[in-house]
Amino acid sequence: MQAPTQTVPLELLAGDEEKDHSDFDAGKSLQRIVRFDLQSEGNHVLAVSVTYTETDSDGEDQSKSRTRTFRKLYQFIAAPCLSVRTKVSGFPVQENRNEKRSQTKPVSFALEAQLENMADGPITLEKVAFSPKQSFNSTSINWDVSWPDTEKTPCPFLMPRDVTQVAFLIKQQPEGKQSKSQVETTKDGRIILGQLTIRWRTLMGDPGFLTTGWLTTRKQP
């Protein structure tokens, strides 16, 4: 598979009812399966090369055998199935006059994400999770949260161009568990919070997943 950023050799997988060999009789067919996770947008080319040997009808005269090879290319464009827009808001730090100024106070953030179905058909969101850096912990406030005395909320079902919102509460771990010096930052001084991972299925049950880059926010004053 030739993707926009890399070329990957693919392993051929046999079907459940097929034997793992390459010989088959006249009139029979042979099926193999390739699996490849689409991780980048743009043009993809699947190159398939087949080499086989022709023999006589009895298969006894090896001198009459001929080896043949042909190659086919299958080109397709991978388009994004889900659009993700994120926003991070910081909560102001409540100062306590009785506390020492040198003491580090935990900082909290609200991560909001807008998810839009960009596919041609409907999808069902199965999981939206936030993986924070070691300096933080996160709490989901989405449909997967179980509330007492309430029925479980079904997973969001999005028709093409439908939009849904998800949110997470991110809090810096208190001093003693994670020191402020261990908070990771970018070169321009922005705080690295973590990554958002989204999993979904199409109407036919095909799985899809997406992981964002590192989500950041500016330092709190």
Residue 92 backbone phi and psi in degrees, to 5: -65, 145
What pLDDT, on the 0 to 100 scale, is given for residue 175?
A: 63
75-100 per-position pLDDT tens digit: 998 888 899 999 999 876 555 555 55
What pLDDT, on the 0 to 100 scale, is given for residue 36?
A: 86
What pLDDT, on the 0 to 100 scale, is given for residue 46?
A: 95
22-76 per-position pLDDT tens digit: 566 777 787 888 888 887 888 999 999 988 888 766 656 666 778 899 999 999 9
Q: What tokens does 16 get?
A: 């459940």
What pLDDT, on the 0 to 100 scale, is given for residue 181?
A: 47
**Distance between CA atoms of residues 37 and 22, nearest Å:** 26
Mean pLDDT of 104-119: 87
How many Cα atoms are found within 13 Å in the side-chain-facing hemisphere of 139?
A: 9
Mean pLDDT of 10-27: 68
What pLDDT, on the 0 to 100 scale, is given for residue 147?
A: 64
Closest CA to 213 of 140, 128, 131: 131
Q: What tokens does 79 get?
A: 């388009």
* pTM for this model (two decimals): 0.67
What pLDDT, on the 0 to 100 scale, is given for residue 206?
A: 87
Mean pLDDT of 165-188: 78
Q: Is 212 helix (H, G, I), strand (E, B) or coil?
A: coil
CATH class of 82-92+104-217: mainly beta
**Distance between CA atoms of residues 78 and 73, nearest Å:** 16
* Residue 7 banded pLDDT, cuts 50, 70, 90: very high
What pLDDT, on the 0 to 100 scale, is given for residue 102?
A: 43
What pLDDT, on the 0 to 100 scale, is given for residue 101?
A: 46
98-107 per-position pLDDT tens digit: 555 444 566 8
Radius of gyration of the chain (CA): 27
**Distance between CA atoms of residues 119 and 112, nearest Å:** 22
Q: Does residue 184 contact residue 135 with C-beta atoms inside 8 Å? A: yes
119-156 per-position pLDDT tens digit: 989 999 999 999 999 889 999 999 877 666 667 788 99
Partner residues linked to 158 by β-bridges: 123
**Which of 10-14, 23-27, 41-45, 183-187 is predicted with the least confidence, judged by mean pLDDT?**
23-27
Q: Does residue 182 contact residue 134 with C-beta atoms inside 8 Å? A: yes
What pLDDT, on the 0 to 100 scale, is given for residue 44?
A: 94
Domain with CATH 2.60.40.1230 in the chain: 82-92+104-217
**Distance between CA atoms of residues 99 and 106, nearest Å:** 13
